[in-house]
Structure 1
Amino acid sequence: MYQLLSLVINIPFFCYALAHPNNVAWYGGPMHVECEHALNLFTGSGQYVKENVIATKAVSFNDDVYVMTPRMKRGVLATVWLLVSGRQGPALEPFPSLSAHAVADCGSIQNAVDYHLDYIGNLWILDSGIIDTLEAPRCTCKPKVVVISTLLRTVTKLLDLTTAEPSSLLQNVAVDYGLGGKPFVYISDAARGAILVRDATSNTEWTVLFCAPSSGLQITLGKRGPAHNVLMVVRAHQPGLIEIECAALRKRNSALPLRAFGENTRPVFLLGSDAHHIYLRHADGADVLSWDVRDGYNMSQLISIHSPGPRLVPTSVFADPLKHSLLILDSNYGDVINSNSPAYQRISFIGQL
């Protein structure tokens, strides 16, 4: 089990963090641009509405933090950003560039709804192709996966999702490496109760149906051994978790052994994973809980590692293997989607021993 302690992160732009030296907090989407005149133009034209920029996920590679802000409301100029030090505190810089997020350009990212950072610094971005989802949803392009190298700061691959349907509700992406470093992409489709599997090397794709349609279907990778990867799945408003063998998913038309945990427990939301640890929260709670998949799944095995505070909810947990720390993103997400209040988001760093 993890023992937790506060960890001061030695990264220049964190020196002004609010409240604690290991926290970073900001309102809405303070955008970093070289020319203030350009920012005024974006604001005046309605292309950029700071209060509508809502962060839902954050990951880190080397000393950089990347933030995802889906296009849920109008005025979101980009959906993946690099967190930098601005003139008045934390600021967001479109990543890898502003042009990479051009609306209606199907070679660009339309709406990042999830991403996966792999061990060599590639961001695998799930682009739903549907923007302004909370206000006036419109489909600008077909769904795809966009791969960006954080080291090269460039898009290296576009994967069209050929098995997605017009009714698909794509929500999460995970990337698993098989023998020889061959990448397989898993994408959850809640509308069909399915996992889309993409062999990124051969560009073949297939769909695995395994449960009834749902309003939400979350996935994250876990490990039961050095070469034994599993996919953990949670259905919205349903208690427990489902475990799927990645080896079976990678073999087209193979039998799919499923294992269920916690059928009589409270429904949960998945927040992230770290080898054999799964991070989650109860649907009716806000504390981040850690579950070691090598132990049984019950209330006594869930360890509380973080409490976000009043009116805040954790939306993602990312484990940085090099710094031996967890990066936790909290926000007033619920207040923002139900009202016009500006988004408040905070990143906390929790060390591991």
Structure 2
Amino acid sequence: MIHKVALLFLTLAIYVEATCDKEIQRPLEWTGGSFEWPTPSTKALYQASGRFIGKNVIATRAQIYKDDVILAFPRYKPGTPVTLGRVSLKQRTCEAIISPYPCWSTQEEGNCGALQSIVDIFVDPNDILWVLDVGVVNTLSCPVRKCPPKVVAFNLKTNRQVKVLDLSGLVAQASRLQYLAVEYAPDGRPYVYISDAATRSLLVFDVAGNRGYRVVLPKAVVGTGRRDVLYIALVQKGCGNNFIIFSYLSSPRVFSIRTDYLRAGCASGKIQDVGLKPNRLVFLGTDLGSAIFFRYEGQPEIYRWDTNTPFLPVSFVLVYKSDNCFLSTQAIADVKRERMRVLESNFPDYVENTVGCGANQKISLMTGCL
């Protein structure tokens, strides 16, 4: 009898483990702005006033914290009621339901004490969520500056705002802030790095000292695009040295600089030419270590490059391929499960206004482990 009971418990354990694994692997999918509204009447009010237009909502960046995915919804077009949201990886519904993060009051467009348009997010090792708010809405239709640009930090354990970094003194009228990364210096001080594509610069902000400065990059790093994208990725290549790997989309080459040089405000002569690109490539994210994930422009395949190896095609490992009509916008480390995930959508259709009811978006699981 004891053996039968033990066998039953073992069978149940295997079933539960298999079920959980299936839950983890099942993609989270949704269309347009699938939000959790306070009441049906609130949703109706937002729709009637034009503050919610489902087909205009799209998530482009994501980070994972425990069982939640934090999502950035840039206000590219009118009718995006939430610019920072959260969805649970454990949701069992057919369509993922997204709640505003940390709450509805922080999403108010035109209120400079709230979030205006989040274009990138980063979770640091101390469970602090850093969000880059450019302050400009409707960027793909008729851009309007609602508020100065800023970085806002939230403690993910308490869901409370803990810091606001005013970037207005570091930007020019033409600035286009696009990506951010955060690290802690050996003395424990946090530093925020932000790419400014229009001014060929990296913004460096010493959070503890409440001061920031601009590091102007040499002309050699610039590509040929008029409204280009300046990608950055924070990697650790060994020996305790962190690097920012960066490249313009249209640039034929990839570059790097040690972050201790950036923290010292000294880039002159410190930038390294990493190598020649086989084609235009889109940075998607890192494994929080030495690996960068990327895809070629317009292509569904995602590659992993260990930055400890030469930047050559022989070093690029194919790790994922998006389904038809989908392209990835971020590769995300799922630390709890030691896996990588992918945020993907039909973003080109969204830009061309051919999404019908809304953009198709999903978070899928990569093969392999971190």
**Shared fold per TM-score greater than 0.5:** yes
**Which of the pair is proportionally richer in helix?**
2
2:360 is the counterpart of 1:344: yes
Do the aligned partners of 1:245 and 1:256 also contact (CA within 8 Å) in 2?
A: no
**1:297-308 to 2 correspondences below 5 Å:** 297-308=311-322
Do the aligned partners of 1:117 and 1:123 also contact (CA within 8 Å) in 2?
A: yes
Distance 1:259 1:283, change over 3 A: same
Distance 1:86 1:269, change over 3 A: same
2:282 is the counterpart of 1:269: yes
2:228 is the counterpart of 1:200: no
Mapped partners of 2:175, 2:212: distance in 1: 15
How many residues of Structure 1 are paired with residues of Structure 2 in the alignment?
A: 341
Instruction: Describe the SS at the equivalent of 2:42.
Output: helix
2:196 aligns to what? 189
Distance 1:232 1:143, change over 3 A: same
2:47 aligns to what? 43
Mapped partners of 2:208, 2:154: distance in 1: 16
Shift of 1:22: 2.4
Mapped partners of 2:60, 2:283: distance in 1: 13
- 116, 122, 125: which one aligns with 2:122: 116
2:203 is matched by which residue type in structure 1?
A: L
2:105 aligns to what? 99
Gaps of 5+ in 1: 1-6
2:155 aligns to what? 149
Mapped partners of 2:18, 2:326: distance in 1: 22
Mapped partners of 1:284, 1:39: distance in 2: 35
Do the aligned partners of 1:317 and 1:326 also contact (CA within 8 Å) in 2?
A: yes
Distance 1:100 1:298, change over 3 A: same
2:72 is the counterpart of 1:55: no
Deviations 1:32-76 (A, max 9, x none): 024112111111221111111111012111111111110001110
- 24, 28, 52: which one aligns with 1:24: 28
Percent identity of the aligned residues?
28
1:211 aligns to what? 218
Shift of 1:254: 6.0
Mapped partners of 2:298, 2:332: distance in 1: 22
Runs (4+) of structure 1 moved beyond 6 Å? none
Deviations 1:303-345 (A, max 9, x none): 1101001111110011122310112011000011112412001
Mapped partners of 1:264, 1:59: distance in 2: 27
Instruction: Describe the SS at the equivalent of 1:59.
Output: strand
Deviations 1:125-152 (A, max 9, x none): 1110100111111000110101111211
Do the aligned partners of 1:249 and 1:256 also contact (CA within 8 Å) in 2?
A: no
Mapped partners of 1:24, 1:273: distance in 2: 21
1:230 aligns to what? 243
Say which is worse superposed, 83-92 or 57-66, in terms of deviation.
83-92
Mapped partners of 2:125, 2:334: distance in 1: 10
Mapped partners of 1:87, 1:294: distance in 2: 41
2:173 is matched by which residue type in structure 1?
A: P
Mapped partners of 1:312, 1:8: distance in 2: 28
**1:71-90 to 2 correspondences below 5 Å:** 71-84=75-88, 85=91, 89-90=95-96
Instruction: Describe the SS at the equivalent of 1:152.
Output: coil
Distance 1:40 1:344, change over 3 A: same
Instruction: Describe the SS at the equivalent of 1:38.
Output: helix
Work out which of the two has the higher radius of gyration on C-alpha atoms and give 1 or 2. Answer: 2
TM-score normalised to the size of structure 2? 0.87
1:138 aligns to what? 144
